[in-house]
Amino acid sequence: MYEAFFELSARPFDLTPSPKFLVLTDSHREALRNLEYAIASRKGVTLLVGDAGAGKTTVIRAALEAQPSTVHCVHLNNPALTRDEFVELLAARFGLSARASGSKSQLLLELETLLRDRHAAGETTVLVVDEAQSLSLELLEEIRLLANIETDTEKLVSVILAGQPELADRLNDPSLRQLKQRVALRCTIRLLTAAETEVYIACRIHAAGGKASLAFTREAVRRIHEASRGLPRVINVLGDNALLGGFAAGVRPVTAEIVEDVCRDFDFGLVTERHGPAVAPPVPGSDRSAASDGPGGPSSEVPSATPREGQGDLFGSFARRRRKFSFFWG
């Protein structure tokens, strides 16, 4: 709808978790590398933790997209299952027989045969369980048993448990100590700092064929960070609706006032005086000084975020990207 007005070839803040729009901060990059390593080395259980909307699913998809055809993945994203439904779903996703869908013992027999055949052929199997913080204790125990399927030297299935921070807390439950002991890798995706939010927005706009300077003023970007507190999903919601608001008002680039209107519409708690500083709670894991301005403009902190391959180097060398902002956002 607004793409032509802002000279874009696509909507940069679509909520579908597409690897095309993945922007790698330090924590996203570390998570991606951990997942790729876990798959390649057939680790038993890998734990991926992050707030809802932090980008866990996008990172998982990027890791799987980079795998060769010899890697088979089963992705479960509905935690509200009974044990019988879980067995039925696993049988269907792994392509097992009708008998396996109704019998746990038959499921395990057929699944182990399938996994051993794939291992003998040099193939890898990955089970991704999303929203794992909502799984029942019973299903978490079933997943632990699946992770136990192995040869004398290697695991036959790599399990990736992705969930919100409550997942890490749940694993401290004494009844889950055996599952916790099997976590070989653990990574956390943190929220974006103010500097990383700037790069995130600029990279998404660039991936959509546009220029950040035509889309947002720098003050508008600051407002988006303050209201979102660095949560990518909220950044996307605010960014998309702010572009829509700018299009409706015939304003390009989008101003801080338009972002503030969107925040009020969506009831995001941005407390701001029209001509004064915005006030928002601190962003977890970030230095609030990164968002402050001195006489020369934004902080010179170098944000540790890089575009995915194929997005291009948005600012020449990313080591110089903060110096480029004075050009990129006029």
DSSP codes of every residue in 26-59: HHHHHHHHHHHHHHHTT-SEEEEEE-TTSSHHHH
Show the low-confidence residues of the chain (pLDDT under 70): 19, 269-330
Report strand pairing: 278-279 vs 45-50. Answer: unpaired
Burial status of residue 224 (CB atoms within 10 A of its CB: 0-12, 13-18, 19 or more):
buried
Please state, for a pLDDT cut of 90, what percent of the chain lies above it: 71
Identify the structural domains of the chain with CATH numbers, from first to last: 20-189 (3.40.50.300), 192-328 (1.10.8.60)
35 backbone dihedrals φ, ψ, rounded to 5°: -65, -45
Which helix (H) or strand (E) segment holds residue 161: the answer is: strand 158-163
How long, in residues, is the chain?
330
Cα separation, 283 vs 292, in Å, equals 13
pTM for the predicted model, two decimal places: 0.77
The predicted-structure confidence for 102-122, as pLDDT tens digits, reads as follows 999 999 999 999 999 999 999
Q: What's the pLDDT score for residue 305?
A: 52
Which helix (H) or strand (E) segment holds residue 163: the answer is: strand 158-163
Which helix (H) or strand (E) segment holds residue 187: the answer is: strand 183-189
Cα separation, 89 vs 174, in Å, equals 28
Q: What's the pLDDT score for residue 21?
A: 83
Q: What's the pLDDT score for residue 315?
A: 32
Among candidate residues 330, 45, 36, 324, the one with its CA nearest the CA of residue 199: 324
The predicted-structure confidence for 261-276, as pLDDT tens digits, reads as follows 999 999 986 544 443 4
Which helix (H) or strand (E) segment holds residue 206: the answer is: helix 194-207
Tracing tokens 């194929």 back to the chain, one arrives at 310
Q: What's the pLDDT score for residue 289?
A: 34
Q: What's the pLDDT score for residue 16?
A: 80
